[in-house]
A and B are shown apart, each in its own frame.
Chain A
Amino acid sequence: MKNLKSVIFILLSVTFLVACGGGDSNSESNETDATQEKAKELSADPKGVGEVKNVELTDPLNMEMIAQGKGIYEMKCSACHKLSDQRVVGPGWAGVTNRRSPEWIMNMIMNVDVMLEEDAEARKLLEECLTRMPNQGVSKESARELVEFMRKNDMETVGKKDGAVI
Chain B
Amino acid sequence: MLNTKSIFHTLIALSAILVLGSCEQRDTKTVVQGDAASMAYVAPGEYDEFYCFMSGGYSGQVTVYGLPSGRLFKEIPVFSQYPENGYGYSEETKPMFNTSYGMVPWDDSHHIELSQTDGEFDGRWLFVNGNNTPRIARIDLTTFETVEILEIPDVAGLHCAPFITENSEYLVSGTRFSVPIPQQDVPIDSYKENFVGLINYVKLDQETGEMSLDFQIEMPGYNYDLARNGKGKSHGWSFLTTYNSEQAHTLLEVNASQKDKDLLAIINWKKAAEYMEAGKFTERTTSYYHNTVDHSTGIASSEEMKTTRILNPKDCPDMVYFIPVPKSPHGCDVNPTGEYIVGNGKLSADMTVYSFDKLMKAIENKDFTGDIDGIPVINYESGVHGILKKPGLGPLHTEFDGKGFAYTTFFISSEVVKWNVEKLEIVDRQSTFYSPGHLVIPGGETKKPYGKYLVAMNKITKDRFLPTGPELCHSAQLFDISGDKMKLILDFPTKAEPHYAQAIPASKIQPNSVKYFKIEDNKHPYAALGEAKARVEREGKDVHVYMTAIRSHLAPDNIEGIKMGDKVYFHLTNLEQDWDVPHGFAVQGANNAELLVMPGQTRTLLWEPFKPGVFAFYCTDFCSALHQEMSGYVRVSPADSDVKLMWGLNNENKDEETLREMMK
- List the interface of chain A (C-beta within 8 A of B): 74-76, 78-80, 88-89, 130-132, 134-138
B529 contact set on A, CB distance < 8 A? 74-75
Which stretch in B360-368, B454-462, B546-554 binds the other chain?
B546-554
B contact patch SS = loop
Q: CB-nearest residue of chain A relative to B515? A: A137
User: Which of these, A78, A89, A138, contacts B551 with CB under 8 Å?
Assistant: A89
Q: List 9 A-B contacts (CB under 8 A).
A: A75-B529, A75-B530, A76-B519, A79-B548, A79-B575, A130-B626, A131-B624, A134-B550, A137-B519
Q: Flag B533-552 by CB within 8 Å of A: 1 or 0 each.
A: 10000000000000010111
Q: Which of A74, A78, A79, A89 has the most CB of B within 10 A?
A: A79
Closest chain A residue to B528, Cβ basis:
A75
Residues of A within 8 A of B624 (CB): 131-132
Which residues of B (633-664) have their CB < 8 Å from a CB of A? 650
Given the complex of chains A and B, what is the CA–CA distance between A134 and B555 in angstroms? 17
A87 to B344: give the CA distance in the assembly, Å: 71
| B532 lies within 8 A of chain A by Cβ | yes
B577: chain A residues within 8 A (beta carbon): 76, 134-138
Task: Note all chain A residues with C-beta closer than 8 A to B581.
Answer: 134
Contact yes or no, A137 B626, CB < 8 A: no
A76–B533 CB distance below 8 A: no
Contact A136 B578 (CB under 8 A): yes
CB distance from A10 to the nearest CB of B (A): 22
Query: Does B516 belong to the interface (CB within 8 Å)?
Result: yes
A76, B519: Cα distance in complex, Å: 9
Q: A75-B530, A88-B650, A135-B578 provided; 16 other pairs, C-beta below 8 A?
A: A74-B529, A74-B533, A75-B529, A75-B575, A78-B532, A89-B553, A131-B624, A131-B626, A132-B551, A132-B624, A134-B577, A134-B581, A136-B575, A136-B577, A137-B516, A137-B519
Contacts of A137 on B, CB cut-off 8 Å? 516, 518-519, 577-578
Task: Number of B interface residues at 8 Å Cβ cutoff, please give it.
Answer: 24
B87 to chain A, nearest CB (A): 25
Cβ distance B16 to chain A, nearest Cβ, rounded Å: 30
Whether the Cβ atoms of B578 and A131 lie closer than 8 Å is no
Q: At the interface, yes or no: B531 with Cβ under 8 Å from chain A? A: yes
CB distance from A136 to the nearest CB of B (A): 4
Question: A80 contacts which chain B residues (CB < 8 A)?
Answer: 550
- The 9 A-B residue pairs with the shortest CB-CB distance, nearest first, are A137-B577, A79-B531, A74-B530, A75-B530, A136-B577, A79-B550, A135-B578, A74-B532, A75-B529
Given A74-B530, A74-B533, A136-B577: A79 and B553 interface contact (C-beta under 8 Å) = yes
Chain A residue nearest in CB terms to B575: A79
| CB contact between A75 and one of B520, B625, B650 (< 8 Å): that residue | B520
CA distance A69 to B578 in the complex (A): 20
Q: Whole-angstrom distance between the alpha carbons of A74 and B576 in the complex?
A: 13
Given contacts A89-B551, A89-B553, A134-B581, contact A76 B575 (CB under 8 A): yes
* Complex CA distance for A78 and B649, rounded to whole angstroms: 13
